[in-house]
Amino acid sequence: MKHKSYCSFPFESIAPKSWYKGKPSRVAPCCNMKTESDDPMGVKYLIDNGASLKEIFHSKEFDNLRNDLLSGVKNTACSYCWDLEDKTGISPRTTAIEPLRLPIETKLTKIDSMLDENCNLRCRMCSPDVSNSLRQDYNRIVELELPLPEYYNTKQEESQSDKLGNQTYFGIGDDYVKEIISLSDEISELKFTGGEPTTSKIFWEIIENINPENIKLHITTNGTKFNSKLFEYTNRFKSVHYTLSVDATRSTYEYIRYPFNWRKLESNIETLCELSDPEKTEIHMCSVLTIYNMINIRNLVDWVHQHNWFAEHKITWKCIPDPHPYNSCLDVKWADKELLEIAWMNMSVALEDATSKTRPALQKVTNYLRNCIDTELDSNTVLERRRQLKQDTLTLDKVREQDYTEILYPQIADFISNITMKD
């Protein structure tokens, strides 16, 4: 029997998504739990007392969430999914999991963890505490006395002390690394995010010492570091799920996922498909919808469709319609109605050619865009958010010697150019 408020994550999964001084600083049942609180589950006291991941999973806080789900109570910690369903009809709760069935066994079988902030890219929607390479930009911005982008205003001490952007401050502590390795006979799925996992020493320490035979390995990767060693180790797992972080094609991709090259990425994806067994390997491509890519993203969907026409190894496209943090200046809801209409029409046409590999995400994105078109927002907030977008764009263009007017689609460039910075 299916349960009306089904969600299996709290009954089987734990997701420590940030670390400080070797301890998890943000823990939830899944990575989709987006709240303004750094401690959405209220388990900091357990962490401070050295609790293990397994102890946190069996804590009263996790039990309370599970009881709410079973009682049909919409716990506020899960508000991201509830709100997204109101806007789009779809959320990770409805698409990323199997329907929860009664009776339910509470058992930790899935771990979804950030490893550390080691990363070789400096993406536009990212921050220095998630990509140490961005500290190069941070320190150049400070040197030029430019305003910091809104998502650079965390953990500034570490950013200032790492001018080359090659140090690690926010990685998993040794005790938790040992725990994950020790749990390898009990867990069925293991997911790693970063940073960029394939550049992390912690990633290699775990997969070189874990028992992989009965584990499905998930890797969220930017796809820039595929090599024979990676495939040698990942192919030992029962199955592998790659999530490639790609938001656009050509120059828009290169602008967002700086400083990688689109053609090189295409080549890497071909290598991944050639060297992976289709019977045991899933390849997903996940995009973050932003004002920068809201028109070009249709080209990426077309690219996936064309790839899947001919390739033995099909790719599933997914999309996060609302970038982190909440109310990010990059969110398309701050764009003007004309741009939103263009983006909505583009994705609606793409939906006509959709397959099972792209339809759910396309439906979610078109629904989100329609919600943005139909919703009237406070004009002062819209102007403030647009000004933040333009300021952040100009700041990073300055330190990277780029020019958005020469790179982004003309409609997007014109929109940003026409944002007034003073009343």
pLDDT digits over 93-113, tens only?
Answer: 777 666 556 677 899 999 999
Q: Are residues 260 and 336 in the same domain?
A: yes
List phi, psi (to 5°) of 243: -115, 110
* pLDDT for the residue numbered 100: 59
> What size, in residues, is the chain?
423
Q: Check residue 96 and give its pLDDT.
A: 61
Q: Is residue 120 part of a domain?
A: no
Residue 126, both tokens: 């990212």
Alpha carbons 286 and 267: distance in angstroms, whole number: 18
The average confidence (pLDDT) of the chain is 93
- Lowest average pLDDT, out of 12-16, 30-34, 160-164, 369-373, goes to 30-34
pLDDT over 70 percentage in the chain = 96
Examine the domain organization and report whether 183 and 84 are in the same domain.
no
Per DSSP, what are the bridge partners of residue 13? 110
Residue 1: inside a domain: no
User: Where do the DSSP E strands lie in 247-353?
Assistant: 281-288, 315-320
155: pLDDT strictly greater than 80: no
pLDDT above 90 (res 38): no
Provide the pLDDT for residue 2.
43
Single out the residue in 64, 87, 108 at which a domain terminates: 108
Pairing mode, strands 110-114 and 281-288: unpaired
The pLDDT of residue 157 is 84
Structural domain count, the chain: 2
pLDDT at 1: 36
Residue ranges making up the domain that contains 318: 174-417
Domain end: 70, 88, 108, which one? 108
Give residue-wise pLDDT tens across range 214-260: 999 999 999 999 999 999 999 999 999 999 999 999 999 999 999 99
Whole-prediction pTM: 0.94
Q: What whole-number distance in Å separates Cα of residue 365 and Cα of residue 88?
A: 8
Task: Note the pLDDT of residue 156.
Answer: 79
| CB of 304 closer than 8 Å to CB of 263 | no
Report the CATH number that the domain containing residue 239 is assigned in CATH: 3.80.30.10
Q: Are residues 182 and 64 in the same domain?
A: no
